[in-house]
Structure 1
Amino acid sequence: MAPDGANCIKLYLLVHIRVFIFVRISLEIFIWIDIFKMTEKEESLEPSNDMINIKVLKGRNFKGPKGEYLGTVTIKAHFGEKALGDVQKLDCSFRTDIDLKYTVELNCSSADPATIDEIAYRPVVLTFAKILPREKKKKEEEKTITLGQCTIDLLPIIQGDKNFEITLEILPVSGSLWEALTPDHSKPEIDIDVSISHSLLERSELTDFNILTMTVESLVAPPECLTLPNHIYVAALCVPLTNEKENLAVFAGANLKPPCEKEHVNKQKKWVNAGNAQGGACYIPNSWITDCATDDEYGDFRSKEDRDYRKHSEQEKSRYVWNMERRCFLHPSAVKTFQNQITKQRYWPVEVFRVHMPSGTKGKKVTQEEDGALSYHGIAYVDASPLLYPGVQTIRGAYKITPFSETSLQEKTGCTVGISEEATKAAISIYTQSGQSPAQRKNKEERKDVKKNTKPGGLEVYSELELSVVNTEGQQYVEARSYIMLEMTLKQPLIPKRTLKELSECVASYIPPRPLFPKRVGGAERAVSDFHKQVECVSRMVLEQFRQLFQEELSSDQEPNPTVMEERKRKLLYTLNNTGKYFTYKERLKHAVVKIVREKYLKTSDFEDKQELQNFLSQLYIFLMDEMHAALNKFLCLDAQPPIPEPLSDSTQLKHFAIEAEMNGNISLAARYHEERISRDKNDASHWLDYSIFCLGQQDIDKAEECLRKCVAIDQEHLNGLLLFSIVSSLKKLTEVAETFLETALMIAPKSIIAWTLFGLFHDALNNEIRSEMAFLKASQLNLAKFLTKETTETDTAPPLTSPQQTVASQLSVLKRNDTSQAEMSPKQDISGLDVSETGIIKQEISEMHSDNVQEESIHEMETRVIPATEQGFANTSQYGMEISQNSEKMSTPKSKMFDKKHSRTSNTISTHSAKRKQSESFNRQHATPLLEEKEATPVDQTPVPEKSIFMITTEWLLQMKAVVYAERALSHELLLTPDQPSLQYYISMAQINILKKDFPKAEKILEEALQISYEQPDTWALLGHVKYFMGDAEGAQSCYKRTLAFVNDATDMHPVYLRLASIYLQDKMFHKARETFLMACQSSPSSVSWLGVGIACYRMGNISEAEASLCEANILNNMDPEVWAYLSLVCLRKERKFEAEQSYKYAMKLGFQDEDIIKEIVELQQHLGYGDPSFLTNHTSNCK
């Protein structure tokens, strides 16, 4: 037992030891894994520091103005306040071109956006100095004199370049030897190589980052009290660095340029913070201020009056010039933040103020009022919304300066606090770093004790009285009409613009496949075709020879027997062989056979085997015989093909017939006319477009879309087709498709007013306010430019009447309008339900245009009204209206709410115009270019006023396209732009929309309001006549139509007026007037309906000959009208032409004539005459039996 117990104990201890060892090893492994992970985590958290290596390779032309050697020269590098590397001495005692081999390194963290931003706007400054020789027997420090400087721009490193080489000129400083170099001397220059091991930004960041280049040029026309010594003038703004951090851009140190200073202004841009750079080194190499046209600017001063003021101010008033450029690095997250801020607020604030210089007097106690005090605090609100337009990278303009107000700042930008305190600190820091004396820097140290006693909130603490003083000082900017020239440029646009290639590819995806054009016949087919031609040619010659030989025998009527036929055959072959014609015929066929052998059987070499040759000849013989018989059958075919008659009406007439049928309510006939146009020419895009317009008017959007696809497939640059396709796609909620075709239309026709306006209406419906306003702005500029060039529009000329009937045509030459006495109405009579004044005189109201009285208005009078954009045509070509008062009220009703009320305008009376006017004025003030409010001003020349606004031009086009929804949107914008009340054209367009919607009571009410504006507009009376005609008021319609004809000027479309008035005359049995009115329609636009009307009127008057001529003309234009056949049957019965009468009656019944009164009249006349109905004789005979 004992040994067994000992063995168990040993086994137990062994197991426990092994378990202990296993657990210990496992713990050590886990500990090492944790340590490794923590080390990786720490390494990942540590920012990666990259070194930018700057190597100065060679130097050239290191010599004095007289060619002397410079001796020992030193070179040192600075980045801001930081010195890079050591000072290196160069021996230039015996040479002018030297190898510098000077290398410095700049440490930067790729993980810190602030460091990258600093590299973007700060240069590396290289300073070259000459060591002066020491005097013998004196031990003193080396003395140097600065020769020149140059600056290295590190922006390519941020943009992804790992290595680049540049050659820089060393620019002399004031008082140096190199300042005396003449232009003929070679300038000293150096070669520099800049490199980095890897890119500062990752691949994804390189494509998504952006750089905002902010250029502050000058402050023009500052207040007179602003110009004082011992002050620095600062402009500052905030730009997002990341999605959480902001970057402060400060422009300090503007130079005063008095008006008397007329020398050329240096347009080269300066570094915003050049460190210790002096002289020419303060300027950025190859960076210049570029002037652009005022029309291309986006500032506040762009109207004609503002341009004159700017020209005067730049020549006669002082200005503060910065000409500084600040590059702001935008991290990919900051780009989205920047875009969102512009979308929400659209205005970007730029603060301008004056700061007292840090005093430099020794021993003098510096007070807060003397050091860092801020005054003349103004602000410019830069409308940055154009940067959200696709492809826009730069905005530039003159922006007015207003007094700084936190309330105004919060309303316009959403910021609650300004940046003046931080900007003041930064400005003083920049100022003290660049050019202050040691005494001033010492004085800066003395200010520490003073600043310890100030409140931590900022540099200055104002009381209520001081705040009022600040506001008063800022108000002087407004009184002086000060403005600041700014430019903001992005490296790449916030919203990229698609290229034409991309748009074309996108459009192609929506175009249905089309059959290819037929290919030219070639190869084997061409060879067989040539063989057929030769067989036909030889057959003609053989047949001609046969007729010559047997001419006498063929003239007899005897049929030849087989023996005679065989004899003729032998004689023909003998003649052909004797004359050599047989050989000629064989040679003609030989070339055609050779072609078939080469092209169809691909035989071009000799046959090696006779059996193969025999097989080939057998196949060729069979093929040639078959093709010969096919050619002979085609040649000797006696079936005469009837000629295809030419169509009696062309495409233009068919279109007119279709519009006329649709106007008369005959939809099926109108569709048939459109289909006939397409069947005649399926490759005409305009045919498909017209059919789509017809389908759109019938609310068949799917069929309209199908037709538009065909239209665009045929002609991808068809502007109207592209625009209407985008509208149809928008109605079907296909937003991307609609936007694609709109952009394609703009690429094809960039100067189309309608295309730009539709683009704005489309984005307005999507609540994309910025893009819509940009489109409206472009359309307004094009409208104004078109008006200034006085482009004349082509007027439609009425086609001449081409009637084959001379009797009817002769009546047109002596036709006159209705008698004036019949057209005039009683002055005290109520005309068609319209109110007439108690005096019985219908007053003549002519719409007043603003341009007629603009010379007599003063600026003070203009404060109470807003110049209508519909008349001004956006006179300043920059905004919707003009804001006369600076402190105008902000629009109380959002723009979207005003648009929601756009359809309720026409149902109200004229008394509601005042409320709408307030909304319009508020809307115009929000999007306006402010002008200075002056108490006394002289009248100035106004910008020419276009005749129609962009919205009215687009509305007219949309009504032609029957796009009712978009027409209503355009009219809603037009309504917001009218000053006192909507224009007459607005009422007419709104009435047309309601007519298309078949809302006739509403259209009638709108037209009655239009008549209160002007009684002399023929279109108003014509539309009112149509409305009453559709409502069944024949008497009222007749009155309106007669008044329309009484005017000297015709309405836009007189054809429906003629037809409907003449039809009313027919109903009232006034056949003479009906005949005259129908003839007017035939003279302007002849059609089957108009000639049918003439025929009916003549028939009822008893003039059968003229009736027959008119009905024949109507039948030629449309032989499918059963009413025409019915009246032709009546005419033929009257003239006792039995066959024609029966045929006409048969076609009338076959085409479905259903007028019971006319049918009864025909049957009675047939029964009286005893013929006219093919079934009449049978029925009559059976009845007699």
Structure 2
Amino acid sequence: MEPDPKLLSLLEKVNNPIELFKIQITVKGVYGFAEDWKLTDETNPGIFANVVRYQGEDMFGKIKGRELTEREKFEEYQKNSKKNKKETKSPEEEEQMKKALALEEEEELKKQQHLGTLQEQDKLFFISEDKFKTISIQYEETHTIEIKNVRQLEEEILENRNFIYFIRQPAITEEELAKLKKGKTKNLNNAELTQIIFKGVFDLSDLLEPGCTRTTARAFLKQEENADCPKYNCDKMYVKVEIETEPALTPLVEEIPVLNIEPIIVQRIPSKFECVGQFQRDIKEAMKALDEEYSKLYPSDQKVKVSANLTVQKRQELQKKKESFLNEINQSGKYKILQDRLRSSIIRVCIDKFAKEGLFAGVNKDEQDRLFAELYVFMMEEMQTTLGEYVINNKEDIHEDLYQTYDQNQRDRDVVFQSLKEQAFKKFKRFAEQYETINQVDQALKYYTNMVLVDPKSATIFAKYCFKIQRFKAAEQLIQMVRDIEWNKENELLMACLYIRRERFKEATNIVQALLQKEPINTLFNLLMSFIYKQQGNQNMADKYLRCTQRIFMRTMGLLTKGFPKQQPDPHVLPNFKQQMIEQQEKAKKAPVLTQEQTDQIQLELIEYFASRSLFDLAEKALVNIKDKTTQKINIIKAQIHIFNENYAEAQSLIQKILNQNPKNYEVYLIKGALCYQTDQFYEAEETFLKALSIQHKRSFDILLRLGYLYLKRKSWQDARAIFERALDQQVPSNSSLTWLGLGISNLRLKDPIAEECLCQASIHEPFNGEVWGYQALNCLQQKRGQQAKQCLQRMEQTEVNDLDLLIELAEEMNKCQDFESCRQILMRVYNSKVKIPNMGQLLKNLGQVHAELRRKDEAKQYYEESLQYLESGNEKAKVIQEMKLL
């Protein structure tokens, strides 16, 4: 079976795509246009340009009249010779003209015979392109067009979207055009002085044939709609173009490749052969020997209860035992014996593998690396599988430390896998809430923004956080975004509250009235409507909705008696209106009246709603309606209002008053702790959070996280480590990057090697946290691992870091390593940060020293001079001046 040449050409095109396609285009003429154009151009030369445009390339031509035939030339000669005898030709010349005339008649006869054999469209082309019969627009130059997107050209040709344009337009300046329109021109209408565009489909499908590089194409042109220019009768107008390409659009494959198909069998390493079985048995023997040696060093206590999850303290203890055991077995030489035993079984597997591959004969480096990679993966899989089977089958016999370590590693692996599979929305929400807990506003905003990008409907959550940090304009935009997506009662209420804050009472009223139409007996909606009217000063309407609320409350509480069925009046008896009014007044006197406590309870619903959404300015206005302002709930809300208004002293005294009345109020301890944390009263905040932990243990992760970062600020590393370990024990799964980061920082400051593992866990759970990479770089620098430190710094440069102390410490370490360029970059990052820099003078002095080391004297001098404005110590200023003299 012979291969299809077209298919081979297509395959060649796919394998070797054309990067640059050149088209040489020659316009042979434009035919079938209005004859008035020739007269216009003859009487007004140079006014119009006749342009053919293809692929952005313009080609200019001129109208050419038809040529005279030999008969017409002979008749004209006879006519002129009679008038002027001087123009007569010699007998030889006349004889030559007669021969040309006879030859033309023969050719004309042949043309007429050929014309009879053609179809209608071909007849049109034949007649239109006869230079002796019709006028045309001729183009002289050949243009070259370069096309890089060849695929797009092919799609245009296949989909009939390959267009060619003919444009007739004025070729004069705007000033000359304005003069022409004002003046009188011969054989020219002002309406013609506009651009006229004709468009046609340029069929180049012949070029898709394999090897085709030349073709001639004709395209009929149609005038595009334009109300400003006249409509011409050019139904038979077309353009004729000759095309030559380099290379062929579809290459021609002349030599058909011979396919030598050989069977290829990729043989994987068998898992049940004798050599593999021996390898598995050796692993089990090695595991048994290691278990025995470990038990000798640390006697087993089978009575100890094996916990489901290891605490951080237990992990550290096992890690120290592991390091001590490995040190002992390496120094004693026992490791060498196990190594030799395993080496022999590994060699057997290698021999079996490479024997099937032909050893290294004819194997290049890439294939050699592939073989070793396959072998390594196979060995690791077999070892892990065999190890897991051995531990599970001998659970009761092996040392409990080994089983616990293996079991915990499996759990950690599953936790990391699950955390990496966590949905983006949940991950961003968790990050945002945790950063909100430790009061890092910028990071919280970043992750709330990412959360909204993933799920726009979650913008309500983001808006509530904006309420807390008093960014009400952003909150309004977020809520409006959600309202455009879907209707939600909570969003409508929040938008109404925002309108009330801005005193746009009309919009707020419309929203709440729409809610009341859906739920007319909702007490919160009626209270909010009463509140709106009261803010407007319309007391009558405010009282009306308040009475509705009170009546709904009384009905809910069962305080209203059931009414009797309405009786129809007797139409023959005149009603006694005075008696009816007296009866209604008596009923009103006997109706139940709400107590002051119940009235406050009704108003408290609206106030608590405002407080729960952090709308404390509205809550403060609503507090006016409360009669008894000494209750515990009201005092808590008043304390939050004082915090909102930054009256911290009054808030603290009120909180202390509440705690004196109820020393076990968990909610108030949280408010006090957050207030102390916000005002940098770290010792008071520590005491408050510890009391809150003693009251309630179940929901203590947020408190532990905040308390841990409080200890980090105080540089109390031991306390921070203990708190973060407790936080990790409480959180399941332990996927909090901030907890791992805090634990890593505290261990790093305590010179504990486990810090690196904690920081690695933090980078797994939050790979775009700049502080994680910064502390990892610091850890590497302290251990003299410069290359890894630079890699961590590169990752840090791609993120934001707000911890200026960390950056300054990194700069100092880079300065010690004499990497002055990296030191300069880090210090410049501190200098350009938006965060307030506490010791600007020292920073500028350091920048001057680094630039001086880099021999950038002008910049060093600039920073030295600037540092003098901030430095307070006279000695420091004198040192700076001395260094400036040395530059």
TM-score (norm 2): 0.40
TM-score, with structure 1 as normaliser = 0.31
Whose strand fraction is larger, Structure 1's or Structure 2's?
A: 1
